Amino acid sequence: MSASATVSPPAAARRVPPMVDESMVSQIWKVSTAKNEIFDQARATYGDTFGLNLARGKWYYFADPDDVKQVFTAKPTILHAGKGNEILATALGEHSVLLLDEGEHMRQRKLLLPSFHGEKLDEQTGAMERISEEVVARIPKGETFEVRAMSQEIALEVILEVVLGTASTGKQHDQLGTATRDLLEWISKGYRLFLSSVFGPRSRPIKRMYKPALAPIDQGLYELIAERRQATDLESRSDILSMLLLAEDEDGKPMTDVEIRDELVTLIVAGHETTATALAWAMERLVRVPGGAERLHDEAVSGEGDYSRWVAQEALRLRPVLDFVLRRVMEPIEIGGFQFDEGDVLAPSIYLVHRREDIYPDPLAFKPERWDGVKPGTYTWFPFGGGVRRCIGMQFAMAEMEIVMNAVARAGILLPVGPEEATISRFITSSPKRGGQVRFAF
């Protein structure tokens, strides 16, 4: 493993990682459509650090946890995640916490964090439990169903209630629900991301392409924000929108409507597809483990045991929803003995680190019990990224995964449907091709 991060030496002594020898278009296509063999082949050929020639610069992938640690702990002034995530700018807006860096990023992050901790999380899990039970009760017994579609329905209801605070019925709830569902379905197509990387997320053609898809949700959200601003019970409300309306930064400045819109869309997009995909993979893998669905059922019924947590952790290891995270280099930096220039993109590879044989023996096997008594390592298990950019919704998502899995498992023992599912790309996620198809044994 490698040396510590320092500012780079003069250009003459530069040592850069090997570049994958393949056309740029082919590389962009494979990365934006989750053809992950490109990473396996590159690591086998070039080792733990290698570069791809992708749009707007060179992207360097890291498969060594020591290097990942250096990336995650580098100064936020040297490595920018916001710049790395800019492909999402068209949908999320310029104030999204995902797209900002340094002081601006910390300001938005601090405004958001209280909504996801302590008492708030307890209130949120209460809503998740109730909504999961309701949705699971509607699953037709004996028929094949898609875990991703079911989880999306749960995740959407959770978002409408917990994030936006709309009552579970009524015109506003239904309009926002439809607008959110339509937007998420629209942006889930991998080729739209491909076009954004080719033309740039802030280019006119891409903005024009997104405009009709964004219009209904923007209209719904701005109406909701205006209405909620008039509410006299903001302090006693527990939804995240109300908390954001009350939030003030260190200078006592509240958030503007546009900032709130951008953070709400960020939470909806970041929290919906990701959690539903993670659940789809968890079930898709679990039903193929002998005795796995039975154990989950028994523990869900008795309310005892850690199996659902292990299943969630193992699914996020072997089938991480996002295969890598991104940081853009703002000043020359050395990581793992290689020098990187301003403009380079550094990508700690979740996919490759999670498949290291030296950390996870028999790495391609789905074994929930490997987590028995084992705490996930910060730089060896990072499906939620790391450092000051680690996912704000990590505990929320883990809680939702366990709650939904237990609600489904209480209803019966799940069986696989068809052969194991291939990986396809939906928006930025790597998702099971048939959405995680299963059925109940009884």
Q: Which residues bind ligand HEM (CB under 6 A)?
A: 81, 97-98, 109, 266-267, 270-271, 274-275, 278, 321-322, 325, 383-386, 389-393, 396-397
Nearer to ligand HEM, 368 or 385 (CB): 385
In angstroms, give the least distance from the CB of 396 to ligand HEM. Answer: 5
Query: Which of these, 116, 200, 183, 53, lies nearest to 384 by C-alpha position?
Result: 116
Is the Cβ–Cβ distance between 413 and 440 less than 8 Å?
A: yes
Nearer to ligand HEM, 270 or 440 (CB): 270
SS3 string, 43-106, reads: HHHHCCEEEEEECCEEEEEECCHHHHHHHHHCCCCCEEHHHHCHHHHHHHCCCCCCCCCHHHHH
Nearer to ligand HEM, 274 or 308 (CB): 274
In angstroms, give the least distance from the CB of 113 to ligand HEM. Answer: 9
**50: phi then psi, degrees, rounded to nearest 5:** -150, 165
3-class DSSP state of 339:
strand
In angstroms, give the least distance from the CB of 41 to ligand HEM. Answer: 23
Distance from C-alpha of 153 to C-alpha of 346, rounded to nearest angstrom: 35
Q: Find the Cα–Cα–Cα–Cα dihedral 268, 272, 275, 277, rounded to 10°.
A: -140
In angstroms, give the least distance from the CB of 290 to ligand HEM. Answer: 26
In angstroms, give the least distance from the CB of 397 to ligand HEM. Answer: 4
240 burial class (0-12, 13-18, 19+ CB within 10 angstroms)? Answer: buried
Nearer to ligand HEM, 112 or 440 (CB): 112
In angstroms, give the least distance from the CB of 279 to ligand HEM. Answer: 8
Q: Where are the alpha helices (DSSP H) in 230-318?
A: 240-246, 257-286, 292-302, 307-318
DSSP β-bridge partners for residue 123: none
Nearer to ligand HEM, 273 or 421 (CB): 273
Nearer to ligand HEM, 383 or 440 (CB): 383
Q: Which amino acid is at 140?
A: P
In angstroms, give the least distance from the CB of 412 to ligand HEM. Answer: 24
Nearer to ligand HEM, 71 or 214 (CB): 71
In angstroms, give the least distance from the CB of 271 to ligand HEM. Answer: 3
User: Could you tell me the two tokens for 376?
Assistant: 């996930």
Q: Which amino acid is at 143?
A: E
In angstroms, give the least distance from the CB of 249 to ligand HEM. Answer: 15
Nearer to ligand HEM, 323 or 421 (CB): 323
Handedness of CA 200, 428, 101, 385 (dihedral sign): negative
**DSSP code for 251:** T
Nearer to ligand HEM, 379 or 440 (CB): 379
Distance from C-alpha of 346 to C-alpha of 329, rounded to nearest angstrom: 7
Nearer to ligand HEM, 148 or 440 (CB): 148
In angstroms, give the least distance from the CB of 392 to ligand HEM. Answer: 4
Distance from C-alpha of 35 to C-alpha of 37, rounded to nearest angstrom: 6
Distance from C-alpha of 152 to C-alpha of 88, rounded to nearest angstrom: 20
